[in-house]
Amino acid sequence: MVDQSSGLSKVKDSITQKLFLGNEPNAELIAILTVYFVQGILGLSRLAVSFFLKDELLLSPVQVSALLGIVFLPWMIKPVFGFISDGLPIFGYRRRPYLILSGILGTASWISLATIVHTSWAATLAIALGSLSVAMSDVIVDSLVVERARGESQAKAGSLQSLCWGASAIGGLITAYCSGLLLQYFTTRTVFGITALFPLIVSGVAWLIAESPVSQDTQDSNQTNPLPIKHQLGQLRQAISQKTIWLPTAFIFIWQATPNADSAFFYFATNELHFEPEFLGRVNLVGSFASLAGVWIFQRFLKNIPFRVIFAWSTVLSSILGMTMLLLVTHTNRLLGIDDHWFSLGDSLILTVMGKIAFMQVMVLAARLCPSGVEATLFALLMSIYNSAGTISHAFGALITYWLGITATNFESLWLLVVITNLSTLLPLPFIKWLPAEEQTETPKDNEQAFLPDLMSELVLREPESKIVE
């Protein structure tokens, strides 16, 4: 009996070690993984928000594009959250209170949408509050992972960060299909109410974070906490003044700031093609698996190819493949005997894989640009610039949609919007030499492992959306 019990214990320990990739499954690790999981599962309300703005608030595609640009502002200032958390402890703690606060803000935003929001301005404020909640928790939990990984072997750190990404990806996959399925049986406000429960989980597990008060950490250091921040800002200013950093950053900004037609496509898909929420959930699910396929293809075959080559080819191919949307917009696919639903699924699959390959290249480039000493701060700044470009992309898309006279019921010029947005993706190509040559990117790849939680959370939370869904 003793030997049998011992054998079962060893098997159990072995399974646990494999499940947690060699990390000790303590309460704090479970809390961190839960936060990442919640970040992924908050996509549950993605389609509900789109239908709420379209059907209940009766907003036009132009208004929705403008609103989406505004509510994404918190992701543009992510480094600020890091500085505030580091420099302004609450009751002596830098991480736990901010994590609790982010959960409360998230719940408040979704409850507001479920109950008292009846105008576009109120919806903008509520959705922006939810965006602020996720951006704040993202910064805090990433910093926790970096702190826990510090001092450990590189292999062990990579396993912890991969585990965190896995938790977020599982949450995203679960909600990809459920986001549409729920709308088949419940109202958008009910979905918002269900979503409001998940940020509370973040506030609850925050109490499991092992953190010592700042006063105990600094009582023997004459309270010199502000000095590292001042020094870090000086290093950051010195880093961004280097041409080898700001030129690639400018290229990424131009690449991401080109206009998109996401909102117009959502209206076209639901009003003209009569796509049901459940089917749009399927498109989301296909897109999620396509994203993972894109990551695998990049890691398996493309990660050693020079940046300029990847960007050039992925940009040209994405532009060409994006033109296939003209077949759907003009209903030519029906003449070819291809059903709208099957065409949309196939198109979403291909475009998402291409978008993910290009996006992975951006993430790796951003990690490699970060010099020693300001890695985390500069990476967060680069991602904020990337996110800012996304806001401009929505604004340009809204402006062009307005100029073309596209509304919730008029899609006559949608084909022209498709042409303009796809051709605009070629605009960064003349500046391709702003990207570093391969010999300039032979920086030690430790940064890629060190920032894996940031890369993967960006992949899940900020991945390029299907042109059909949003």
Residue positions counted in the chain: 470
Q: Where are the domains of the chain?
A: 22-209+235-461
Q: Residue 163 pLDDT > 80, yes or no?
A: no
The predicted-structure confidence for 332-344, as pLDDT tens digits, reads as follows 999 999 999 999 8
The predicted-structure confidence for 193-218, as pLDDT tens digits, reads as follows 999 999 999 999 999 888 778 765 44
- At 459, the pLDDT band (50, 70, 90 cuts) reads very low
Q: Is 22 left (phi over 0), alpha (psi -120 to 50) or beta?
A: left
CATH architecture of 22-209+235-461: Up-down Bundle (1.20)
The predicted-structure confidence for 396-430, as pLDDT tens digits, reads as follows 999 999 999 999 999 999 999 999 999 999 999 99
What SS3 state is found at 90?
Answer: strand
Higher pLDDT, 76 or 8: 76
pLDDT of residue 231: 65
- Model pTM? 0.80
pLDDT of residue 19: 53
Helix/strand/coil percent split, the chain, to 5: 80, 0, 20
The predicted-structure confidence for 260-298, as pLDDT tens digits, reads as follows 888 899 999 999 998 998 898 888 888 888 877 887 888
pLDDT of residue 323: 93
- How many whole angstroms separate alpha carbon 396 and alpha carbon 257? 8
pLDDT of residue 144: 80
Do 377 and 236 touch, CB atoms closer than 8 A? yes
Do 381 and 344 touch, CB atoms closer than 8 A? no
pLDDT of residue 429: 93
Q: Residue 391 pLDDT > 70, yes or no?
A: yes
The predicted-structure confidence for 96-123, as pLDDT tens digits, reads as follows 999 999 999 999 999 999 999 999 999 9
- How many whole angstroms separate alpha carbon 79 and alpha carbon 87? 12
Q: Residue 375 pLDDT > 80, yes or no?
A: no
